[in-house]
Amino acid sequence: MTDALNRIRVGSAPDSWGVWFPDDPQQVPWERFLDEVSEAGYSWIELGPYGYLPTDPARLTDEVDRRGLKVSAGTVFTALHRGPDVWDATWEHVSQVAELTRAMGARHLVVIPSFWRDDKTAALIEPPELTVRQWAYLTKGMERLGHEVKERFGLDIVVHPHADTHIDTEEHVERFLDSTDGELVGLCLDTGHYAYCGGDNVKLIETYGERIGYLHLKQVDPEILADVVKNEIPFGPAVQRGVMCEPPAGVPALEPVLAAAQNLGVELFAIVEQDMYPCPPDKPLPIATRTRTFLRSCGA
């Protein structure tokens, strides 16, 4: 593909530097992430886990401005399937992130459902399947969240299907989309997570194009994935095995995904996220630079 993808804005995120937590000794300092993401050729970034980057808007604005960077989105984790009792705690967290996201001039809030495994130990903490009542809590809760975030902060929420969450497979993603109002709830399609869970990215874009509000670009190593599926390996350990790999070595092929996204006729962010927590501090920059070169060759 050589045609310019003039509706696609490419960026990267702390995730591509092995950052999963606000504070962790295995992660690179935030200053190094900002320096290197700029050096790699990206101009858009996400905030990552709230508290990893400075949360004072004036300071963060100064830090990103002097590196020629802009913020595309913030990220929140939610457990709305647990019902009304979690709303107040959820909203407190969402409000913090949304306030900073708005202050940085971004328009999107990426919403990730909570894991049914512990994010550090991979131990099972909830059933992988929701009950009918829990599905209702989840969908109605997301609609309420979308309404409140738009009303109070002027942001659009985009829900991120994710491995080891209740919105993961094609069946679950389609059920979620069919059960929610597109005016209130968009989708952040993570190409790697959707492929990891057996979904067809291009088909989803072509079928539910009006719901796609944001992209995360990621690829999966099919050989490692086959072993992960066969042995029922949790997502965290799978990442440590290298299941999320450097483009263009994995699946899905990103050229047709980007072409399908371009054909939607709307402007979309496409933020590179290569899960590799934990990783050596010198590993991310060369990968990020090569990935940016590859995406330019695709027209992005």
What's residue 3's pLDDT? 61
Q: How far apart are CA 64 and CA 250, in angstroms?
A: 31
CA 44, 49, 50, 51 torsion-angle sign = negative
**pLDDT above 70 as % of the chain:** 99
Tell me what the mean pLDDT of segment 248-277 comes to.
97
Is residue 1 predicted with pLDDT exceeding 60?
no
Q: Give dist(CA 279, CA 16) in Å, integer.
A: 10
Q: 205-255, pLDDT tens digit by residue?
A: 999 999 999 999 999 999 999 999 999 999 999 999 999 999 999 999 999
Residue 120's pLDDT is 73
Question: How is domain 8-298 classified at the CATH fold level?
Answer: TIM Barrel (3.20.20)
Taking 3-state DSSP, the helix, strand and coil percentages for the chain, each rounded to the nearest 5, stand at: 45, 15, 40
Window from 19-28, 114-123, 242-251, 289-298 with minimum mean pLDDT: 114-123
**What's the confidence (pLDDT) of residue 77?**
95
* Apex 195 CA angle, 17 and 93, nearest 5: 55
pLDDT of 93 over the 90 cut: yes
